[in-house]
Amino acid sequence: MTSPITTSRQGDVLILTSDNPPVNALGAAVRQGLQAGIEEAKNDDSIKAVVIIAAGKTFFAGADITEFGKAMQEPSLPVLVDQIEALDKPVIAAVHGTALGGGCEVALASHYRIAVPSAKFGLPEVKLGILPGAGGTQRMPRVAGVETALELATKGDPISAEQAKAAGLVDRLANEGNLLADAVAFANEVIGKPVSRSSERPVTVDPAIFETFRKANAKRFRGMDAPTAIVDLIEQTAGKPYAEGVQAERMGFMKLIMGTQSAALRHIFFAERKAAKIDGIAEDVQLRDIKRVGVIGAGTMGGGISMNFLTAGVPVTIVEMAQDALDRGTGVIRKNYEATAAKGRMTAEQVEGAMGLLKASLNFDDLAECDLIIEAVYENMDVKKDIFGKLDKIAKPGAILASNTSYLNIDEIAAVTSRPQDVLGLHFFSPANVMKLLEIVRGAKTADDVLATAMAVSKKIRKVAVIAGVCYGFIGNRMLMPRQVEANKMLLEGATPEQIDKVHVGFGMPMGPFQMADLAGVDIGWHRDPNRIENIRDALAAEGRWGQKKSAGFYDYDEKRTPSNSPRVAELIAEWRGKLNVPQHEVTEEEIVVRTLYTMVNEGALILAEGMAQRASDIDVVWVYGYGWPPYRGGPMFWADTEGLAKIVAGLEKYGFEVAPLLREKAEKGEKFNK
C-alpha cells in the first residue's frame, strides 16, 4: 500500500506532504509515514530542515476517530509528536485549513508554525469527551499561555491564524496560496539555529486563574467530565516538568476515553454525519439549482428561516399579506442582524450585505422567480392547502415547494398540487436562525433529487438535517408528546412542576417540561375560549399566566425573570386534582425518569419500526440538536442502550405502559438500537 506521506526535497529542506482525504486524519499510515520522514531527516546529513504540510482541504484535522477503541498501531501519536520535537533540525509545520486536536499537537511539537490567514487552530477533543492526549495539555500552556490553553482545550472552539499568532501559537503568517514556498523560505532562514522545543519552555501561571476559570464556566461545564478533568490536569501539572505532565495527561486521556460520555459524544459526531445520508438515493443524484428562496410569512418563523439564507448569501423573497406585518417582519430581521453586529460577530457591511439580498413583497406572484419556496404560516391545514394550491399555479417548473409545518400531513398538502414530487416538509426549530436542527420530511411522492437538494441546502445554511417520515409531529415533536402527557398527569398525582423540572435539569437538559412551557408560552395551542377549560394548562392560560412573557406561568417570575414556585399554581393543581378525583401518591425520581424519559424511548422505537426515522442515530441527532438533549448522553436511543434495554422495558412495564414491539424484541435479544 502506498503511504499517504510523500517526501520531496527543495534544496536542504525535506518536505513531508500528507495526502489522506477527506481531512488528513492522523491514522496509522499517516503516523508511520511521518515517523519514517523524521527518521530520514535524522539520518541524512544533507537534510537541514523539515517542512510538514498537507495536501487537500486541510492540515491534519486530528487523530483518526474511527481508530478509537481499537488496538493502537505503532507509532502512537504521543510517541510520534515527541519524535518530531526531538529532531535536532528545525521542523516547520505549514498549516492551512484546520489544525485540530492531534493536528494541532503535531504543530505544537514542531519547532515553528507558519499558517495562511484562513487557517484555524483548535483543541476540539473536549467535544468528543476526551482531553488532548498527545502533549496538547502540556505544550499549549508553554507556547500560548495557560489562559489560552484553558480556553481552547475546555471549550473546543478553534481560533483564527491571526488570533493564534497573537497568542504565540503561530510564528509567521504565509501568503494565501503560497504556503509551501513561504514555509520553505522560513525553513531556510532557521537552518543552523538551535531548535526551540516547546516542551522545554517554562509555564508561568498565577494559580488563582484556575478557580476563576472554573467559577466563570461552571454553568457551561455542568454535568460534563472532560472540561473539569482538563482544568484539573493543567492546574496540577503547571509547575511540573513536561515528562511528568505528559504522563498525567496520558492517564487522564485513557480514563476519559473509556467512559460513557466520550462514547456518547463520539456517537453523536458520527451520527450527525450519517444523518446526511439518505437511504435509497444514489449519491450522484443531480441536484436542483437553488439561486433564490421564497418565504411565505414574515412572522417569527418566516423571518428566522429567511435569515439562514441571507446569511449564507442566498437571495430571499419574503411575502406577507399586509404591509404592517411585512414591515414588522423585515424590521425584526434587521434588528437581529444589528444585535449580532453589536456583539462583534458581524460587520456593518455584512449586515447591509445580508439585508440587500432581501426582497419584501405583498405580491404572491413574486414567488415565481424562486427555486425553493418555504411556507411558514400558522398551523392550519386549510390555510396551507390554499397556499399550496396557489403556489402550484405560479411557481416555476421544478421549483421545490416546502412547508414548515411542525405536525401536519405533508402528503395531504402535496395532494392539492399537480406536482407532489416537488413537495416536502422543511421543519425548522425556533429560533430558526439559531437552532441547528432541520427535519426534512419525505412525502410519499417526494422525488429523490428534491430530498437530496434539501439536504445540500441544509448544509449550505449550516443546519444539521435529519430525514423524517410523514407522521403526526414527525420525529421530535412526536416524542415530546408522551413526555408532556405524563408530566401533566404527574402534577395531578402529586408531583410539583419544580420536582419534575429538577429531574430533567439534573439529567442535563437545559430546562424541564414546565420551564420549557413557560419559555415557549403557556398560551401556545390554547383555543382562547375562557369557557372551555379542560386542564391545568388551559386554566393557567385563562388566568393570563402565559409564561415568562407575562411574568407568570407554571412559575412566578421577578423582573429579572428569576423563577419561583407559585402558590397560585399549587392551588390550581389541587383544584384540578379534586375536580378529577385523582388519587395522590408520592412521585419518585425513578417514576419521573420512567414516565417522561423511558416513554420517549418507547415512542422512538415505534418511530423506528414504522420507518419514520432512517436509523436510531437520526433520532439522537434530532434530540441533541433540536431539544437540548445533553450531547454527553448521546441522544435518547443511545442513552437507552447505555441504560440497558431490558431495564427500560422493566421500567415501562412497572408503570403500566405498552412496550413498543421493537424495543421488547431488542431487549429480549440483548441487542442495542445503535450498533
Q: Provide the β-strand partners of residue 92.
A: 51, 112
Residues whose CB is less than 8 angstroms from the CB of residue 135 and which lie 6 or more positions away in sequence, other chains included: 78, 81, 82, 105, 108, 109, 199, 242, 246, 249
Q: Closest separation between CB of residue 57 and ligand TC6, Å?
A: 7
Contact between 65 and ligand TC6 per CB under 6 A: yes
**Which residue in the list 40, 67, 85, 105 is annotated as catalytic?**
105
Q: Closest separation between CB of residue 102 and ligand TC6, Å?
A: 3
Nearer to ligand TC6 among residue 97 and residue 497 (C-beta)? 97
Rounded Cα distance between 72 and 80, Å, is: 13
Amino acid code (one letter) for 206:
D
At residue 129, φ and ψ (nearest 5 deg) are 75, 15
Q: Please, are residues 196 and 97 in contact by the beta-carbon 8 Å criterion?
A: no
Contact between 66 and ligand TC6 per CB under 6 A: yes
Contact between 133 and ligand TC6 per CB under 6 A: yes
Contact between 77 and ligand TC6 per CB under 6 A: yes
Whole-angstrom CA distances from 651 to 117, 432, 492, 602, 612 are 55, 36, 21, 11, 25
Q: Which parts of 96-243 are beta strand (E)?
A: 98-100, 112-115, 120-122, 159-160, 172-173
Active site residue 125: yes
Contact between 63 and ligand TC6 per CB under 6 A: yes
Active site residue 105: yes
Nearer to ligand TC6 among residue 100 and residue 457 (C-beta)? 100
Query: What letter does residue 38 receive in the DSSP assignment?
Result: H
Q: Order of strands, edge to edge, in the sheet holding 464-468? A: 358-361, 316-319, 293-296, 372-375, 400-403, 423-428, 437-441, 464-468
Q: Which stretch binds ligand TC6 (CB under 6 A): 18-26, 206-214, 235-243, 293-301?
A: 18-26
Nearer to ligand TC6 among residue 57 and residue 654 (C-beta)? 57
Contact between 373 and ligand TC6 per CB under 6 A: no
Of residues 261-320, those binding ligand TC6 (CB under 6 A):
273
Nearer to ligand TC6 among residue 132 and residue 553 (C-beta)? 132
Contact between 134 and ligand TC6 per CB under 6 A: yes
Q: Please, are residues 601 and 636 in contact by the beta-carbon 8 Å criterion?
A: yes
Of 82, 85, 125, 618, the residue at the interface with ligand TC6 (CB under 6 A) is: 125
Of 4, 33, 37, 62, the residue at the interface with ligand TC6 (CB under 6 A) is: 62
Q: Which stretch binds ligand TC6 (CB under 6 A): 29-37, 55-63, 419-427, 460-468?
A: 55-63
Residues whose CB is less than 8 angstroms from the CB of residue 367 and which lie 6 or more positions away in sequence, other chains included: 294, 296, 317, 319, 373, 391, 394, 395
Contact between 466 and ligand TC6 per CB under 6 A: no
Total binding residues toward ligand TC6, as defined by CB under 6 A: 22
Nearer to ligand TC6 among residue 157 and residue 589 (C-beta)? 157
Q: Provide the β-strand partners of residue 342.
A: none
Q: Closest separation between CB of residue 317 and ligand TC6, Å?
A: 29
Nearer to ligand TC6 among residue 507 and residue 625 (C-beta)? 625
Rounded Cα distance between 514 and 192, Å, is: 68
At residue 496, φ and ψ (nearest 5 deg) are -110, 160
Q: Which stretch binds ligand TC6 (CB under 6 A): 60-68, 423-431, 494-502, 568-576?
A: 60-68
What is the crossing angle of helices 136-144 and 242-257, to 10°?
130
Q: Please, are residues 35 and 80 in contact by the beta-carbon 8 Å criterion?
A: yes
Rounded Cα distance between 580 and 661, Å, is: 33
Rounded Cα distance between 143 and 319, Å, is: 54
Q: Helix, strand or coil for residue 93?
A: strand
Rounded Cα distance between 603 and 109, Å, is: 50
Per-residue cell: 190 = 532557521
**Which residue in the list 85, 125, 151, 235 is annotated as catalytic?**
125
Instruction: With CA atoms as reference, report the closest residue to 317 among 347, 337, 296, 336.
Output: 296
Contact between 109 and ligand TC6 per CB under 6 A: no
Q: Which stretch binds ligand TC6 (CB under 6 A): 95-103, 364-372, 467-475, 511-519?
A: 95-103
Of 98, 262, 336, 596, the residue at the interface with ligand TC6 (CB under 6 A) is: 98
Instruction: With CA atoms as reference, report the closest residue to 501 among 513, 488, 483.
Output: 513
At residue 176, φ and ψ (nearest 5 deg) are -55, 130
Q: Which stretch binds ligand TC6 (CB under 6 A): 59-67, 180-188, 205-213, 411-419?
A: 59-67
Of residues 165-184, those binding ligand TC6 (CB under 6 A):
none
Nearer to ligand TC6 among residue 135 and residue 497 (C-beta)? 135
Nearer to ligand TC6 among residue 38 and residue 63 (C-beta)? 63
Q: Which stretch binds ligand TC6 (CB under 6 A): 100-108, 237-245, 510-518, 552-560?
A: 100-108
Q: Please, are residues 1 and 20 in contact by the beta-carbon 8 Å criterion?
A: no
Q: Closest separation between CB of residue 242 and ligand TC6, Å?
A: 16
Binding site for ligand TC6 (CB under 6 A): 22-23, 25, 58, 61-66, 77-78, 98, 100-102, 124-125, 128, 133-134, 273
**Which sequence positions are flagged as catalytic?**
105, 125
